[in-house]
A and B are shown apart, each in its own frame.
Chain A
Amino acid sequence: MIEFETVSKTYPGHAAAVSDFSLVVPSHRTVVLVGSSGSGKSTLLRTVNRMVEPTSGRVLIDGEDVRERDPVALRRSIGYVLQHGGLLPHRSILDNIATVPVLNGTPKRQARTAASELLERVGLDPRLGRRYPGQLSGGQQQRVGVARALAADPNILLMDEPFGAVDPIMRRELQEELLRLQADLHKTIVFVTHDVDEAFLLGDEVVVLREGGVIAQRGTPAEILGAPADDFVRDFVGADRAEREIHITTVDGRSIAVDGTGRPVGVLAP
């Protein structure tokens, strides 16, 4: 469980990046922070592994203030996936995945064997393990990033727009892969994105942020889409967008779902 207690972060000479943010992320759940740039979502994520120190307020993991923890040990206990993979360009894929176990003192050979298994687990050919990150596609690099985050079997995964830089088809595959992994692993995931559809797909709970890390609304995707708290949320999640308005029409005795633009999007299950 991760608790944000009235967390604020102000950078000198700027408006508050985050002010008085409080949230509880329950264990084994995926909570998605969604907002546009300037909403402070990445800043909030980075307070969890102390890459950012709050100006005021506290972040607790299982009741313990992260400031009590040694930052290096803390970071090794948390899986972190970055937008551009954040892989080390000079280390092979296997060594990248084995980074944290090796830093923690696991023998190299053993860590590499485990890394090879993880490579398969995230849907990559183990033969890629001997390559360098520069030789992989963007989507493959993101999968390696996920494998590295899982290598030390952390309870918590922090994901900072991990699929933002890959093409839409690849992004969809990566999202499905994450859902599949999470169904097996039950990690506590904090996921940051600016993509509402991604947030609704992945989040058990979604937190819509407005400028300065202020919570506009939080709830399950259905709650937010069904009852947007205000015009900002309605606009942000596109509740009024034509493709969100599904009507049912009957064609040849079958019920067809049609969106607001008249485009058929599916058939009603009998």
Chain B
Amino acid sequence: MNWLSLNWPQVVELARDHLLLSAPAILLSVLIAVPIGRLAQQRPRIGGTLLGAASLLYAIPALPLLIIIPAIFGIPLRSPATMIIALTVYGVALLVRTAADAFGSVDPRVREAAVAVGHSPRSVLWRIDLPLAVPVLLAGVRVVAVSTVSLVTIGALIGVPSLGTLLTDGFQRGIPAEVATGIIATMALALLFDALLIAAGRALTPWTATRHERPLPQEETT
């Protein structure tokens, strides 16, 4: 505790860096994976290949990926952008299959009824498919969020500051309290993301919370 009381301004700054790396990566993962998942679900023929390829991305070892990305995108190795792109690759790999499942979980009868009363294909996507996919999608995003927050620590190895810096620094200098702080702070950040996502999920899907409420006593005849 003594170490933390002396170094907390540094921990706060690293936590902020950590946040600024993970939040954009999670957001980008969702923005990229959802359209791919939707495509895969709608076109099963190319969908299988697409899902297989996406899953394979997760098998790329982290260190080579961190070296390839600057080469491909022409950005400096030790930049936050390198980290965000790498994290997005893993996030997309994790999320694409869940996104496809999320659209698959929408009751086709609901979709057909929506078409029958006059929804255009575009309004079916925005007003029916997307909102109804949220519960399953959110479960996937929670996994991605926690995984991303944890993976950010790897950035310390290439010199991108995050709470991972506490781990590498603590190991090198033999300060167990610094390592412990790094682990606990990372986990706390992951839990924070998870709590925010659960709250967002509740706000986005008000109809699921009230499903088991008893029907209003109602006289059926007039």
Q: Do A and B come from one complex?
A: yes
B119's partner among A87, A103, A135 (CB-CB below 8 A) is A103
Is B73 on the interface with A (CB-CB < 8 A)? no
Closest A-chain residue to B211, C-beta based? A134
If A72-B119, A132-B210 are given as contacts, then 8 extra A-B residue pairs at C-beta distance below 8 Å, sorted by A number, are: A76-B117, A82-B116, A86-B112, A89-B110, A91-B207, A99-B117, A103-B123, A137-B215
9 cross-chain pairs, A with B, having the tightest CB-CB distances, nearest first: A86-B113, A76-B118, A75-B118, A123-B222, A132-B207, A134-B211, A90-B207, A72-B120, A90-B131
Complex CA gap A73/B118 in Å reads 7
B221's partner among A90, A127, A173 (CB-CB below 8 A) is A173
Return the CB mask of A113-151 against B: 1 if under 8 Å, else 0.
Answer: 000000000011101100110111101100000001100
Rounded to whole Å, the gap between the CB of A249 and the closest CB of chain B is: 34
Is B205 on the interface with A (CB-CB < 8 A)? yes
Is A229 on the interface with B (CB-CB < 8 A)? no
Write out the residue numbers on chain A whose beta carbons fall within 8 Å of the beta carbon of B114.
86, 88
Chain A residues with CB under 8 Å of chain B are: 46, 49, 51, 72-73, 75-76, 80, 82, 84, 86-91, 99-100, 103, 123-125, 127-128, 131-132, 134-137, 139-140, 148-149, 170, 173, 177
Write out the residue numbers on chain A whose beta carbons fall within 8 Å of the beta carbon of B132.
89-90
Interface residues of B in 74-121 (CB under 8 A from A): 107, 109-110, 112-120
Write out the residue numbers on chain B whose beta carbons fall within 8 Å of the beta carbon of A51.
112, 115-116
On whether the beta carbons of A128 and B207 are closer than 8 Å, the reply is no
Q: Which of B117, B132, B207 has the most CB of A within 10 A?
A: B117
Closest A-chain residue to B222, C-beta based? A123
Closest A-chain residue to B209, C-beta based? A132
Rounded to whole Å, the gap between the CB of A30 and the closest CB of chain B is: 20
Closest B-chain residue to A78, C-beta based? B118
A-B CB contact pairs (8 Å), 10 listed: A51-B115, A80-B117, A86-B110, A88-B110, A89-B110, A89-B207, A99-B118, A134-B207, A137-B215, A170-B220
Is B216 on the interface with A (CB-CB < 8 A)? yes
B215's partner among A87, A103, A135, A177 (CB-CB below 8 A) is A135
Q: Which of A89, A99, A124, A136 has the most CB of B within 10 A?
A: A89
Q: Number of contacting residues on B, CB 8 A?
A: 30
Closest B-chain residue to A151, C-beta based? B117
Write out the residue numbers on chain A whose beta carbons fall within 8 Å of the beta carbon of B123.
103
On whether the beta carbons of A148 and B117 are closer than 8 Å, the reply is yes
Return the CB mask of B121-135 against A: 1 if under 8 Å, else 0.
Answer: 001000110011000
Complex CA gap A103/B219 in Å reads 31
Rounded to whole Å, the gap between the CB of A156 and the closest CB of chain B is: 13
Are A140 and B218 also in contact (CB < 8 A) when A75-B118, A100-B118 are? yes
On whether the beta carbons of A88 and B128 are closer than 8 Å, the reply is yes
Closest B-chain residue to A158, C-beta based? B116
Complex CA gap A80/B109 in Å reads 14
On whether the beta carbons of A125 and B131 are closer than 8 Å, the reply is no
Complex CA gap A249/B108 in Å reads 56
Complex CA gap A136/B214 in Å reads 9
Rounded to whole Å, the gap between the CB of B83 and the closest CB of chain A is: 36
Write out the residue numbers on chain B whose beta carbons fall within 8 Å of the beta carbon of A148.
117
On whether the beta carbons of B109 and A173 are closer than 8 Å, the reply is no
Return the CB mask of B119-160 against A: 1 if under 8 Å, else 0.
Answer: 110010001100110000000000000000000000000000
